[in-house]
Amino acid sequence: MSVTVRTIADDILVSLRQTFDDKKIQHSQVAYWIIVMANRLKSQHIAKRDSGAFLSTFTEVPVILPTVNQNKNIVRGRKHIVLPQTIYDFNNDRGIDYIAYESDGSPGCPPKFTKITFSRTTPKKSRVRYMSAYEKPSPKEPYFYRIGDFIYFLGVEQVYVPTVEIGIYMTIDPVTTIDIDAPFDFPDELVSQLKMEVLNLGRFSLLVPEERRNDGASSDQAAPTQKLVSVNQNQQQQPEQ
């Protein structure tokens, strides 16, 4: 992954012949298109392949225990973490590969050296989990569910869990924060596909006629001065003008 966003953007601007001073497509515009299309291609790539190439691990993510309710999504007394980065919204929350915590060895917990992985559930489905002796949330069998950017936990209410480790599939940083000279976190084999997709976007943009653009000038068309009435409305019911 030695390619950078700048390399791709420069290449595309050359292909679109947008290298002169008064060019219609700016460098930042192309960078934005690259990120939009790269996110799409990368998500498809991850969904298709069982690979750890784009898995990112965050350790010691702090577990928060709110003391007050706060709309929206923060509920008092419910342990949760905030997702460290934006992730792909795959089916069954597959954007989260795993969440694990290190047991402190307290009652009901395995020894401290073991790591326990959280299973996924949803707020609605979690009710069913409590119906089985084996599936009931517990320190040994903990669950997580996602609400927006918050990941809530079930089963670790009574044990001390200061931090968790999480493995996620992150989206590409937005154009406002990305370092375009840093190695681009994108599969090399899809760069050609990415270039083609961005070129298509750029070509479409160049094809849009000039008069379709809002240049701020006033239009010749006069604004209507009379109230518009439907042809289906009964004439007798029409209010007086």
Partner 1 sequence: MDISPASFVSIDELLNDILPLVDDERLEVNTKGYYTSMIQQALEALAFETFFDERRETEPFPVETLTMMMPKGAFNLRNVYIFNGTECNIWNSRKVWWKRNYYTKGKGYIANNKGEQTRDPFISGSSFLDRYESKELIRYRNTLDRAYFYEVQNGMVMFSKQCACYQSVMLEFNGTGCDIGDVPIVPMFLRAAVKDYVCEFTLRIRMAKDQTNKWGGLWKIYEQRLNMDERYGIGTGSWGKAQQFVKNMNTSQRAELKEYLSKNAW
Please name which of 88, 241, 113, 238 lies closest in space to residue 168, comparing C-alpha atoms. Answer: 88
39 interacts with partner 1 by CB under 8 A: no
| Cα-trace Rg, the chain | 27
The answer for residues whose C-beta is within 8 angstroms of residue 183's C-beta and 6 or more apart is 1, 2, 3, 4
Sole window of 14-22, 31-39, 130-138, 209-217 interacting with partner 1 (rule: CB under 8 A): 130-138
* Residue closer to partner 1, measured from CB, 32 or 143: 143
Q: Pick from 10, 135, 149, 173: which binds partner 1 (CB under 8 A)?
A: 135
Stretch near partner 1 under the rule CB under 8 A, chosen from 26-34, 125-133, 157-165, 176-184: 125-133
Cβ 46 to partner 1 shortest distance, Å: 14
- Which amino acid is it at 230? S
The window from 76-84, 126-134, 170-178, 194-202 that contacts partner 1 (CB under 8 A) reads 126-134
**149 contacts partner 1 (rule: CB under 8 A):** no
Binding map of partner 1 across residues 76-95, x = CB under 8 A, - = no contact: ----------------x-x-
Report the side by side order of strands in the sheet with 119-120: 80-82, 150-154, 143-147, 119-120
Residue in 6, 27, 78, 129 binding partner 1, rule: CB under 8 A: 129
134, 177, 211, 216: which one binds partner 1 (CB under 8 A): 134
Q: Which is nearer to partner 1, 120 or 195 (CB)?
A: 120
Q: Does 119 bind partner 1 (CB under 8 A)?
A: yes
Measured in degrees and rounded to the nearest 5, phi and psi for residue 167 equal -115, 125
Binding-site member from 4, 36, 100, 141 for partner 1 (CB under 8 A): 141
Find the shortest distance in angstroms from Cβ 120 to partner 1: 7
How far apart are the C-alpha atoms of 202 and 196, rounded to whole Å?
10
Q: How far is the CB of 138 from partner 1 (least distance, A)?
A: 9
Nearest approach in angstroms of CB 84 to partner 1 is 21
Paired with 170 in beta bridges are: 87
Structure tokens at 135: 């599936």
Q: How far apart are CA 35 and CA 224, in angstroms?
A: 43
Q: Residue ranges of the alpha helices (H) in 16-165?
A: 27-48, 126-129
| Of residues 151-210, those binding partner 1 (CB under 8 A) | none
**Sign (positive/negative) of CA torsion 68, 74, 77, 81?**
negative
Cβ-Cβ contacts under 8 Å for 138 (sequence gap 6 or more): 108, 155
* Interacting residue ranges for partner 1, rule: CB under 8 A: 92, 94, 117, 119-120, 129, 132-136, 141, 143
